[in-house]
Amino acid sequence: MRRVTTVASEMIPIRLLMSIAIVAAITIMIVAGHSVLCVILAEHHLESQCLSLESTLYSMVQSGVARDIDEVGAFEGTKRTYTLDLPDSLLYLSFGVDPDSNNDGILESGLTSDGSIVCYKVSGGSKQIKWLPEEDIRFRKGNYTQGKWTIGGTGEGLILTSEGTITLTFELVERNHEKFILVYW
C-alpha cells in the first residue's frame, strides 16, 4: 500500500507541469489569433471605406462639372467631401500612388498608373491595391497656391500615414481637356 502512495505523489508535479503547459499553449493561441483578427478587421474596415469612396467618386466623374485648373477665374469643379476613419495600425493609405512599390518601407509620392490606384497597408498585414478605371478616376494631390487648389507640377499622389478621423475633399478638375480628381484636406 505504501508503494501506491509514493507513485501518486510523484505524479502530482508532472500533472501540474502538464496543466501549466496546456494553459500556456492556449493563451499563446488566443493572443496570436487576436492579433491576426485585428489585422483582418482593420483591412476590412479600410476596404469598405475605399469601396464606398470609389462609388461616390465614380458618380462625381460621370455627372460632375470639371474646373479648368489653368483658367484663373474658373468656377469650382464638382466636389465631394469624405471623412475617413483610419485604424491605429495604419501604415499608409494613398491615392494615385503605390508609395512602397519596392516593398522596402521607403514611401515615395510619384504617380502610379497615371494616378488610377488606391493602396493601403496596416501593420502586420500585406499591401492592398485597388486598381481603378484609368479613363475615369485619376488622382492628383492638391497644392494650395495663390488662393486656390492646383496640381503641383506634373502631379503626385497623396499619402496618409496617420490614424484617426480625417476629412478629405475631392474636386473634379481638368487640364488640357483631361479630367483629374484633385485630393486635399
In the block, cell 485648373 appears at 69
**Parent domain of 149:** 36-184
pLDDT tens column, 50-67: 999 999 999 999 999 999
14 assigned to some structural domain: no
Q: Is residue 17 included in any domain, yes or no?
A: no
Using alpha carbons, select from 124, 171, 125, 129 the residue that is nearest to residue 150.
171
Q: Is residue 62 part of a domain?
A: yes
Integer Cα distance of 168 and 149 in angstroms: 13
Q: Average pLDDT in the 63-79 region?
A: 90
Is 146 domain-assigned? yes
Judge whether residue 4 has pLDDT over 80: no
Residue-level pLDDT at 98: 93
The answer to whether position 1 is within a domain reads no
Task: Judge whether 55 lies within some domain.
Answer: yes
User: How wide is the angle at C-alpha 126 spanned by C-alphas 111 and 108, nearest 5°?
Assistant: 25
Dihedral sign of CA atoms 149, 151, 152, 157 in order: positive
Give me the mean pLDDT over the 152-170 stretch: 90
In a domain, 25, yes or no: no
| Domain contains 3 | no
Tally of structural domains, the chain: 1
